Structure 1
Amino acid sequence: AVTACLDQQLLPDALEQAWRDPISYQAPILALVKGDLSGIQAFLYLIGRGGAARGLKGRSFFLQLLTEAIAHFILERLNLPIVCQLLASGGHFYLLLPYNTLGQLPQLHTEISEKLFRAFQGDLRALIAATPLTAADLLEGRIAHKWRELAGLLSERKQRMWSELPDDALQTLFTPVQRATDAESLCQVCYGAWGEANGDRIDDGVRKCARCIGFEELGRQMRKPYALTIHFVEPSDPPANADWRETLRAFGWEVQIYQPDRPVQLTGERGVQITFSPDFLPRQLTQGWSHEFRPLASATPPENPTTRVLPSYEEIAENAMGATWLGVLRMDVDSLGALFGQGLGNRATLSRMATLSRTLRYFFEGYVARLCQQYADQSKLYLIYAGGDDLFAVGAWDVLPKLAREIRQKFRALVGGDHITLSGGIAISHAHAPLYQLAETARVALDDQAKAHRWRVNGAEREKDALCFLQTAMGWDEFEEVYTWFQRVVQMVQGDGQRGRVPRSLITRLGSIAAAYQQNAAHIRQRIRTGTAHNARERDLTFYARWLWRGVYHLSRFAEQQKSWRDEIEQLRELLTGNPDGLIRHLHVVARWAELYTRGK
């Protein structure tokens, strides 16, 4: 990428000067560009229930294609090779450009925004920012501050949304639009205008516009594809309310998806074939075409063999253990900005930063999908998105905490310790809850609870590196203890052939002990706020209280009555009553989790 840019930027004499003495050569020679797609959350999750499960995967994959298409569009206009695309994933892209092309970027940004505005009426936007690089910035340890500077510039762009549009487009932006005169003229998925004359139709009793039907078809095609071809064509102006193919064509991409039973056909002068299998090299090359392997970030339940329709979210929830609830899992890498800005320290270089990004992308796109597939095969999970540094999954509530635990364990093994950490948020509710509400609740659980969590390991304070489940943030070590005792309580209640079962009232009793502890903790905090108790005594006043003696009594009686499970119950009693900083703080999670899991259908 650097070589391609310098070939357009510097004459031989200047290049030699910059090479021999990069510190004193102050003139900018390169530009680092970052682009973000904005409006993704609403585009993905503010949709109706009709066909949501089928269309959400298609929408997610389209956003990945759109991100790459916009990045490629910029490079094509500047006559730069694809190696200048450092990264394009998760709605973000990074490009390396010659500094002398930077003056063309504002016009390209305007053109991109006009295309997106026409296609989506403001629902999706592209933010683009750039910062110049000198030869000295390419030395070890100097690129990190430019990476941080670029993130700050993009944040400023977010405060001036659509400012790159010309005046006539801005006027259209602020003009009220009536999409329909009554509910019968609205698409029940995206709530856009609907009319059979426009190619829209009624599918399974649900009104769907042509665009939403297209996203459903894309999601179906991306369940287990063999390959995808991108034919580079002349960019066009998209029609209003463009479908996914028309939008990509506006940026010069003609996309075809091939299933394993359909031979790939490479037509056109230039393009790329992306194969979702390591065996991606053809026996015979086609002039003008390149070939690439890419892991497929997809885990989708099997179709109904009769109707060839993917299961709905309600059907997914029916497959859950215990309560027939649905859930959303969101996870991402903690403090990613600090990781790129400071994590590599004096060893930071452009290539190392790009390699770090690419490694994270391969973990989420490739390995996470493998972890999810075991639950998808049970018709319990949809992996909606995984890439960049985050993931989003919708599934039966019972599999989500297990999946989050597995992903964290594998991620920790990948990075080799706790210096790069991962947090997660889980939201669960009845299957008929709107998806956007579950998605937003999971976002709050991740961003406002898990990432705000402070906890201790071996006396050292930790931050983030946590999971929020059942509205409770826990460090991963804390969650591991909760998970262990959830399994043991469920084992006691469900029983085995030799020792029988403990009455389900054990769960109720544990919930009562947890509630009494939480009530006393709230009372002590109130006393501290009003000055009737000292802050230094909060720990003792919270722990040594009435709930403790009652808990000991009730669990001792349970142990006497359930002699075949006495050791486990006594161990739980000692764990709860012997450590003020132990399991008692999260006993309510154990009780609620076990209650939901053992609930009858």
Structure 2
Amino acid sequence: MSRIERNSLVLAGLLHDIGKLMQRAHAEGDLAQISPTSAEAESTFCPVAPDGRYTHRHVLWTDAFFEWLRNEVGVPPDIDLALAQKLACSHHRPEAAGEHEALAWILTEADRLSAGMDRRRDEDDPEARHRARRQPMRSPLAGVDIGRGETQVLYHRVTELSPQPEALYPVPGDEGLVEQVPEQYQTLWKRFLRAVAGLRQVSDGRHFLEGLRSQLERFTWAVPSSTVDTPDISLYDHVHTTAAIAACLWRYHGADTTPERVRDRGVRAYRLLAGDLSGIQRTLFTLAQQGARGAAKVLRARSFLLSAVVDAAALLALRALELPAVCRVQSAGGRFVLLVPALEGVEERVRELQHQINRWLLRRYLGGLGLNLALTPPFSGEDLLGERFLGVMDALGQAVEEAKQRPLEGVQTGPIPLRFSEHGPCSVCGVRPAAGHTEGLCEPCFEEERIGQRLPRARYVVYGPEKEVVPPLHGVPLPGGAGLAVVQELPRDLSAFWRVEGLGPRQAGALSWRALATYVPLWGPEEVDDPRYRMRDAGEEDAEPPRPGTIKTFHHLACDALERANGSYRGRALLAVLKADVDFLGFVFARGVPREKQSLSRFAGLSRMMDFFFSAHLPWILENTPEFRSTYTVYAGGDDLLLIGPWRQTAELALRLREAFHRYSGGNPNLTLSAAVWLVPPSASVARSALDAEHGLEQAKDQGRDRVWLFSRVLPWGQAVEACERAGRWVEWVDANRVTRGFLQRLQTYLEMRRQAERDPTQAAWRARLAYDVARNFKDKKMRFEVLGQVGLEPDLTVREQTLDVLPVALEWALHRIRK
């Protein structure tokens, strides 16, 4: 089958509804001036309504865009632009494609199946056209409902994708927002054209299509695909999954298919292929030195390379099954999902690929890491429609769970022979033999260190054949003969590479871009002489001198927790490990959307938006909030994160992230975070600390979710915010000499008596002792009542339970801050 035909079909799938955006950005009469031939093509491409009028006129605008693309940009030689134009413009009237009618029916079916409905109503009556130009997209996250509270109807501004809050957070659909939409469409369209014009420099169809897909994500993520149905599916998610279904159908039916065969939705033509890694946590924290010294150079790069193994597996699977990149319908959090054809031989190819990758993983990670590939049973087009799609997702979940029970499948098990030379074990992992040319490191750890040094300044990630990537671009090998490099500049010829990604839209230009949480704290020139970093408890054993532009060590991050007060620094130089994830995530995907509205496009969109919070918005918060810039990202993506930073800032960061997620999801009580903040000395075992944070997170979930574990207690988020505020007030009073540190420590004793009084009546005097202490030390009546209120007691010593409940955390928080 022709690669040109496949690429042309994918291009048609990506652009078949671009006319909707163009139409909303213009007045209806503009079409005749922009493209007269397109305006006159009604009888060719538009269906006819029972009343005789032409409908679905957006295809005429799609035709006009193709004319612009031909004249201003062009396409690579392995794409037939005329064929793509005919298919895209015929998707509501496939017979208009003439000799390519069967191909047009593939796109038509893909369009309908992507939306999860048989046929879309059109937007072409006058009232509908007016509404379409004023309709923002409804937030899909704000509409998720799993029965944990009422949802709101909120909308996204019509703007390009950005990690900034004003672009991401949904807002009420008041008249002010609606009035702005027409102008926002016009601005968005102009920027989209400028971005797509950059594709003229791309000479390879693979990179052209990925670059176009990326620009569509950037500019149409908040454009509703339909304004006559529930406008909560973005144009991007619709056209992306349409292109994926079309490519899969084309691969299944072959070049000689017929319209009748394509329209048969009872044929089980599809399967989903999922891939993820087992053993990530164990492999990530394999460090010879259990303390954190030197770990900051390794962890972020190791986490990145582990996710790169998953990316490489997805690319290898697409190549093995002869599918384009658009068939990757989910990519988040170290996992991918591909839509693949249910052809004979698919299982064998997947099995061979899994064995090949796992053999490589065994050699490199000595059995600690394994790739799981899981195929669903074949399903039909009917199974993509509405509530039947739930069965597909259930089958996917079951296949993934079964695959996890077979780690390293296809690899011979037993003792792994290792030969250690006079260089001994690796000084970083302590597991593999050190190589003679790598300064005491094994090859994998040496490569991780090299990638770690380049990652903070990298602008591009390049995947391709190992021989084309590793030696020329100083990259690292990946499974299946693949290679990866992170670079600041690209070579002129990209045709040998499988995938090239810019780390952000500005870096990518016309190429594909991805959000990647690579933020790590670097030394600034103004910090090198900061006296905090020379203090004894800051870890003076860390002999490496700070240099601007290099990564701070964990010992130095702990120092950032110290506060300056009265001419000196105080507080505890500790780290905090912050671990958080989304509650009930499996249930959110399975049941968060009404059964009748389930579809592949909604699944893809929900996954993409969830991932964007962790992989893009979180790094933006870290980079743009001064108090959080000393936060080290171990990993963040999908639905979870693991961060390490100075304890004081990290505890407040947990509260900030919960508030950000709350706003990102439209205040939806059905979408919540649970987290744990675990304090550790900078010399503690990173692996053990991460495990302890995991246990704290489990306790937060066991006690009801939507909570945070902090200072050995689980609090609802609202109480955690109150604890932070009360801790700040205690610190202010200590600084103003209104209370003493000794008084705060005595309060802890009274609280312990209160806890024991539940079982030991002799401890019931805690309240009287506390009241006596307050009366003895605070003679001013107003101050005495303020202190009692801060503690959680009324003037008559009546207990305010909620305030007393947060007092232990508030006291610990304050005492950690004022320690000298």
Same fold (TM over 0.5): yes
Contact in 2 for aligned 1:142/1:349 (Cα 8 Å): no
2:74 aligned residue: none
Match of 1:286 in 2: none
Could you tell me how far 1:366 is from its partner in structure 2?
A: 0.7
What is the DSSP-based 3-state SS (H/G/I as helix, E as strand, rest coil) of the residue aligned with 2:456? coil
Which residue number corresponds to residue 88 of structure 2? none
Alignment check: 8 A CA contact 1:50 1:189 kept = no
Does residue 191 (structure 1) correspond to residue 418 (structure 2)? The answer is: no
Residue 278 of structure 1 deviates from its aligned partner by 2.4
- Partner of 2:714, secondary structure, is strand
In structure 2, do the counterparts of structure 1 residues 177 and 552 end up closer, same or farther at CA, with 3 Å as the change threshold? farther
Q: For each residue in 1:19-71, what CA deviation from the matched residue of structure 2 results, as whole angstroms up to 9, or x when unmatched? A: 46x4xx2x421001111111110111121345211111111111222211111
Cross-structure match for 1:395: 645
Cα 1:429–1:358 shift into 2, 3 Å: same
Change in Cα spacing, 1:146 to 1:13, as seen in structure 2 (3 Å) is same
For residue 817 of structure 2, what is the amino acid of its counterpart? Y
The 3 A distance-change label for structure 1 pair 160 and 193 is closer
Instruction: Give the aligned residue type for 2:767.
Output: L
Query: 1:180, 1:233 → 2: CA distance?
Result: 27
> What residue in structure 2 maps to residue 432 of structure 1?
683
Correspondence for 2:748 among 494, 498, 511: 511
1:487 aligns with 2:728: yes
Task: Give the equivalent residue in structure 1 for 2:271.
Answer: 31
Does residue 405 of structure 2 align to residue 159 of structure 1?
Answer: yes
Shift of 1:120: 2.1
Tell me the residue number matched to 1:582.
802
User: 3-state DSSP class of the match of 2:723?
Assistant: helix
Higher strand share goes to which structure?
1
Letter matched to residue 36 of structure 1: D
Partner residue of 2:480 out of 220, 227, 251: 251
Residue 159 and residue 231 in structure 1: after superposition, are their counterparts in 2 closer, same or farther (change >3 A)? closer
Residue type matched to 1:127 in 2? N
* Cα distance in 1 for residues equivalent to 2:285 and 2:435: 25
How far apart are the structure 2 equivalents of 1:345 and 1:557? 62
Aligned pair partner of 2:504 in 244, 269, 277 = 277
CA apart distance, 1:597:
1.2
Do 2:426 and 2:442's aligned partners in 1 also have CA atoms closer than 8 Å? Answer: yes
CA contact (8 A) 1:559 1:570 kept: no
Cα drift, residue 179 of structure 1: 5.6
Three-state SS of the structure 2 residue aligned to 1:128 is: strand
Amino acid at match of 1:105: V
Trace 1:38-57 onto structure 2 (pairs within 5 A): 38-47=278-287, 48=289, 49-57=292-300
1:571 and 2:789 equivalent?
Answer: yes
Letter in 1 for 2:555: E
Letter in structure 2 aligned against 1:5: C
Aligned residues: CA RMSD: 3.0
Runs of at least 5 residues in structure 1 that lack an aligned partner in the other structure = 202-206, 239-243, 283-289, 454-462, 525-540
Q: 2:705 aligns with which of 451, 455, 464?
A: 464
* Structure 2 residue aligned with 1:10: 253
Corresponding residue for residue 24 of structure 2:
none
Question: Structure 1 counterpart of 2:444, which letter?
Answer: R
- Cα distance in 2, alignment partners of residues 558 and 16 from structure 1: 90
1:437 Cα deviation (Å)?
Answer: 0.8
* Cα separation, partners in 2 of 1:37 and 1:578, compared to 1, 3 Å: farther
Quote the offset at 1:176 in angstroms.
5.2
After superposition, give the CA deviation of every residue in 1:279-323 in whole Å (9 maximum; x if it has no partner).
3565xxxxxxx7112234122222376645422111211221311
Task: Determine which structure has more spread, i.e. the larger CA radius of gyration.
Answer: 2
Which residue is 2:346 aligned to?
A: 102
Shift of 1:74: 0.4
Displacement after TM superposition at 1:379 (Å):
6.3
* Deviation at residue 251 of structure 1 after TM alignment: 3.3
Aligned partners of 1:162 and 1:254: how far apart in 2? 21
In structure 2, the gaps of 5 or more residues are: 1-243, 526-545, 563-570
1:78 to 321, 336, 339: 321
Q: Structure 1, residues 430-465: CA drift from partner, whole Å, max 9, x if none?
A: 11111011010011111x211111xxxxxxxxx201
Give the AA of the match of 1:466: R
CA contact (8 A) 2:476 2:485 kept: no
d(CA) in 2 for partners of 1:431, 1:13: 64
Paired with 1:468 and 1:216, the residues of 2 have a C-alpha distance of: 33
Aligned residue for 1:298, secondary structure, equals coil
Aligned length: 535
Indicate if the aligned counterparts of 1:50 and 1:188 stay in contact, CA closer than 8 A: no
Matching residue of 1:291: 511
Tell me if the contact between 2:293 and 2:554 (Cα under 8 Å) persists in the aligned partners.
Answer: no
Partners of 1:18 and 1:135 within 8 A in 2: no
1:60 is aligned to 2:284: no
Deviations 1:93-131 (A, max 9, x none): 111100115323222222222222223221210011111
Q: How high is the sequence identity, in percent, across the aligned residues?
A: 27
In structure 2, what is the equivalent of residue 538 of structure 1?
Answer: none
* Rounded Cα–Cα distance in structure 2 between residues aligned with 1:72 and 1:176: 29
Task: Give the match's secondary structure for 1:228.
Answer: strand
Matches within 5 A, 1:308-457: 309-321=550-562, 322-346=571-595, 347-374=597-624, 380-416=630-666, 417-446=668-697, 448-453=698-703
- TM-score, length of structure 2 as denominator length: 0.61
2:788 partner letter: E
State the match for 1:222 in structure 2.
455
* Structure 1 residue 585: Cα displacement: 2.4
Instruction: Kindly state the Cα deviation for residue 327 of structure 1 after the two structures are TM-superposed.
Output: 1.6
1:490–1:142 Cα change, 3 Å: farther
Give a deviation string over 1:534-584, Cα, whole Å, max 9, x none: xxxxxxx99x943233333333444436x6744531322445864564122
Measure the CA separation in 2 of the matches of 1:274 and 1:266. 15
